[in-house]
Chain A
Amino acid sequence: MIDEKKNIKSVSYPWGRPGGAFDVQKIRKDFPILSRKVNGKPLIYFDSGATAQKPKQVIDAITKYYAEQNANIHRGVHTLSQEITTAYENARATIQKHINAKHAHEIIFTSGTTESINLVASGFAKKFVNAGDEIIVSEMEHHSNILPWQMLREEKNAVLKIVPINETGELILDEFKKLLSQKTKLVAITHVSNTLGTINPIKEIISLAHAKNIPVLVDGAQAIPHMKVDVQDLGADFYCFSGHKVYGPTGVGILYGKEEWLRKLPNYQVGGGTIKTVSFTKAEYADIPLRFEAGTPHIEGGIGLAAALDYINEIGLDNISVYEHELLEYATEKLSAIDGLKIIGTSKNKASVISFVLEGIHPYDAGVILDQLGIAVRTGHHCTQPVMEHFKCEGTVRASLAFYNTKEEIDELIKGIAKVKSMLK
């Protein structure tokens, strides 16, 4: 994981103009959708936290798959099948390298973060959790990292412990330490909050849990697009993320698991591709990762995801982090100056996600007016109702910024908010 504050001044800008700043205009040309209009206005896309737009490199990889490479993987002896199997396994290796996993077989293709978490929760329910055992999650989790554990709680009569957050939207680590006990079977926690933007001290959390031999699952859906993640350095036992939030296709995601854990986890879904031999009396299952990948996978999803990671690596995650941080600071400063606007989530260590509320204005109304101006923001509870409960708001407006956004777009948002206020006053 990149230390946000470190190296900020020393990074180079290979993607930018010689001697100049990060060349966002050049990058924007890679994203075809950014040139379209919405409601007659140029699209300003501030909803990358929900799903990121796709560069043509990803779109081309998917088109090429269907136009030139389509065949089923791991099945045929024919050339097409061999070629695409190699391409798919190369994609796995790209993902392995991207998060610095020790082995390629520690990378499981899933349909997304949600399925990755469900796979682990289902395995823990079957094998490792008994009545009275505890799972720790935090108050800032996305519903996808709450509900699978709630289901496990109901099934096994287990207990869910919640790490509280403070008024800036940071985890209260002292409370976390108190929750770790001999009954704790797993800590499931987000790396970056999708609502508050808070970057959690995951390495420290993992080391605290590991000191008591407790494994940790990290929901990395909102971290992967913004920063370098090194699963070995973090020590994560499981790390989950989605393709579509990191500029790749929808419907594909990753479950990274340490080899020892994946070997211990029981089967999830079974079917074609997960076996060595099958008869009606018994089945001998394949090794990891294939044991967890039942059925024909989302082949172009895996290939598209690898293309997306190649793309961001070419720009450089350090460059992306620095530029997005610049955008975040600019937007925070401009938004803070607006009368009656309150930012929800003010941690010092944030990814480029800003949630805010406007005094006397419902987020839905603000979202409708901004949409008319071509500005796409997310409004509502962002699948984090406990966070809304904590900050006593029904919902927020969320602008999630990506490296294809510009300061000029932020200026348009500020003007848009002025329009919202004048229309809804």
Chain B
Amino acid sequence: MKIEETENEIVEEFSMFDDWMGKYEHIIELGKSLPMIEEKYKTDDRLIKGCQSKVWLHSEIKNEKIFYTADSNAIITKGLVALVIRVLSEHSPDEIVNAKMEFINQIGLTQHLSPTRANGLVNMIKQMKLDALALKAKV
């Protein structure tokens, strides 16, 4: 599935909720589907800077596609990471770098994109793109 197709799928999925509670309950549920990072990768150098909660991200390249695993100690953050990984994982570095990630605004989670000290979704996406570029260069 293309990146935009997954984004559209998520937008569709979130359109079912007409209140914030449903939406957040869904995010919390999605956190459980997060591709878990292996314990050995939960190191300080894999922590995303600027998150109020801890987010560990590990990136790998297989057959020219990037695979992400992650974890967070906050449940909502975990759900947000799961969403971003669902969109970006298993794509080529170029596709990842060029992804616009507009679905976040479309599902009404813009507040999580604001560059405040409170959350690091912006930093997370930035790190995922940087990792993709770095892994591409290594191959």
Chain A contact residues, CB within 8 Å of chain B? 39, 361-365, 367-369, 371-372, 379-380, 394-395, 423-424
Stretch at the interface among B8-16, B17-25, B93-101, B122-130: B17-25
Expressed in whole angstroms, the Cα–Cα distance for A371 and B119 within the complex equals 14
Stretch at the interface among B41-49, B74-82, B84-92, B131-139: B74-82
Give the 10 A-B residue pairs with the shortest CB-CB distance, closest first. A362-B74, A364-B53, A364-B74, A372-B20, A364-B52, A380-B52, A365-B76, A365-B74, A368-B76, A365-B75
Expressed in whole angstroms, the Cα–Cα distance for A372 and B23 within the complex equals 11
Query: Interface digits, B23-52 against A, CB 8 Å rule (1 contact, 0 not)?
Result: 011001000000000000000000000001
- Whether, in the assembled complex, B73 has its beta carbon less than 8 Å from a beta carbon of chain A, the answer is yes
Residue in chain A with minimal CB distance to B53: A364
Chain B nearest CB from A105 CB (Å) reads: 37
Interface CB pairs A-B, < 8 A, 23: A39-B20, A362-B53, A362-B75, A364-B53, A364-B74, A364-B77, A364-B118, A365-B53, A365-B75, A365-B76, A365-B77, A368-B24, A369-B24, A372-B21, A372-B24, A379-B118, A380-B52, A380-B117, A394-B54, A394-B73, A423-B21, A423-B28, A424-B75
Expressed in whole angstroms, the Cα–Cα distance for A379 and B20 within the complex equals 20
Residues of chain B with a CB closer than 8 A to A365's CB: 53, 74-77
Residues of chain B with a CB closer than 8 A to A380's CB: 52, 117-118
Chain B nearest CB from A176 CB (Å) reads: 31
Chain A nearest CB from B17 CB (Å) reads: 12
Chain A nearest CB from B137 CB (Å) reads: 33
11 A-B pairs besides A362-B53, A365-B74 with CB distance below 8 A are: A362-B73, A363-B52, A364-B53, A364-B74, A364-B77, A364-B118, A365-B77, A367-B118, A372-B21, A423-B24, A424-B75
8 Å CB interface, B47-81 against A:
52-54, 73-77
Tally of B interface residues using CB under 8 Å: 17
Contact B52 A424 (CB under 8 A): no
Known: A362-B73, A365-B75. A424 touches B28 (CB 8 A): yes
Residues of chain B with a CB closer than 8 A to A39's CB: 20
Residue in chain B with minimal CB distance to A424: B75
Given B25, B53, B117, which contacts A423 in the complex, CB threshold below 8 Å? B25
Expressed in whole angstroms, the Cα–Cα distance for A380 and B50 within the complex equals 12
Contact A395 B21 (CB under 8 A): no
Residues of chain B with a CB closer than 8 A to A361's CB: 75
Residue in chain B with minimal CB distance to A419: B21
Residues of chain B with a CB closer than 8 A to A372's CB: 20-21, 24
Expressed in whole angstroms, the Cα–Cα distance for A37 and B89 within the complex equals 38
Chain B nearest CB from A396 CB (Å) reads: 11
Expressed in whole angstroms, the Cα–Cα distance for A372 and B109 within the complex equals 12
Expressed in whole angstroms, the Cα–Cα distance for A39 and B19 within the complex equals 10
Chain A nearest CB from B5 CB (Å) reads: 28
Chain B nearest CB from A232 CB (Å) reads: 38
Expressed in whole angstroms, the Cα–Cα distance for A365 and B111 within the complex equals 14
Expressed in whole angstroms, the Cα–Cα distance for A281 and B66 within the complex equals 64
